Amino acid sequence: MTDKSYKKRMQRKKEYIDSRIDQANIDKGIIVLLTGNGKGKSSSAMGMICRSLGYDMKVALVRFLKGDQQTGEDLFLENHPNIVSAHMKSGFTWDTQDQELDKIKARETWTEAKQFLQNPEIAVVVLDEITYMINYNYLDESEILDSLANRPKDQHVVITGRAASQGLIDASDTVSEVEDVKHAFRANIRAQKGIDL
Ligand code: ATP
Ligand code: MG
């Protein structure tokens, strides 16, 4: 490609991008859904929490299905004045082998999440690993969709978890599927602090 035609192409590209930027003039609370089998869903949500806190926004972090495993972000954020959180305690079903107890814990955690989704003071609500609660029938999808639809209009929601249901995909504004190309765990490397937990 000649220098001149390259410049022309770049100029056209810039005009197109600028026109799209001009068109995107709406501000509203959006739902971001991070799904798929690859690593990077919850840590991406933590990245958005970090961005939000940088602007002094209030954040609610709700964790489903996390067991009792502590993460670096829990330690880092635990006493942050702009974060409220709710963590489902009893964790993976294959640990607890007690579906009824898991269901109760899921509902308790959802009750707290619902309150965050009604609170206009909270700018961002993270629902980490909630997809499993729907897929295991621990929580009712329609009730979750209803709360999402009726949340304060400027409130953002970040949802993570594998195998997101079609209802969640339809309700979301931004949906990313993280593909599992490779994971260190399969080379017998255990979860590393700062990267995996
Ligand atoms: P992260 O919290 O690191 O962003 P994630 O939220 O995308 O990961 P989860 O399914 O919630 O993924 O799993 C959390 C933990 O499992 C992390 O320690 C992560 O590194 C690990 N993990 C994620 N995907 C895989 C995979 N495909 N194979 C093995 N381990 C994985
Ligand atoms: Mg996760």
Domains of the chain: 30-187 (3.40.50.300)
Nearest ligand 1 atom to alpha carbon 160: 6
Q: Is the pLDDT of residue 8 over 80?
A: yes
Read off the tokens for 119.
């609170």
Residues having CB closer than 6 A to ligand 1 are: 37-43, 129, 160, 162, 178, 180, 183, 185, 191, 196-197
Q: How confident is residue 65, by pLDDT bands cut at 50, 70 and 90?
A: confident
Read off the tokens for 77.
């954020």
Nearest ligand 1 atom to alpha carbon 178: 7
Residue nearest to atom 2 of ligand 1 (CA): 42
Q: How confident is residue 91, by pLDDT bands cut at 50, 70 and 90?
A: low
- DSSP β-ladder status, 174-177 and 124-128: unpaired
Q: How confident is residue 128, by pLDDT bands cut at 50, 70 and 90?
A: very high
> What residues flank ion ligand 2 with Cβ within 5 A?
41-42
Q: Is the pLDDT of residue 181 over 90?
A: yes
158 in Cβ contact with 187 (< 8 Å): no
Mean pLDDT of all residues in the chain?
A: 93
* pLDDT for residue 21: 86
Q: Average pLDDT of 169-177?
A: 98
Pocket test for ligand 1, best of 32, 33, 39 (most atoms within 8 A of CB): 39
Lowest pLDDT segment from 67-76, 107-116, 161-170: 67-76
Q: How confident is residue 85, by pLDDT bands cut at 50, 70 and 90?
A: very high
What is the CA(35)–ligand 2 centre distance, in A? 9
How far is 146 from 113, CA to CA, in rounded Å? 13
Q: How confident is residue 182, by pLDDT bands cut at 50, 70 and 90?
A: very high
68 Cβ partners below 8 Å, 6+ apart? 89, 91
Q: What percent of the chain has pLDDT over 70?
A: 94
Predicted TM-score (pTM) of the model is 0.91
Q: Is the pLDDT of residue 93 over 60?
A: no
* pLDDT for residue 102: 86
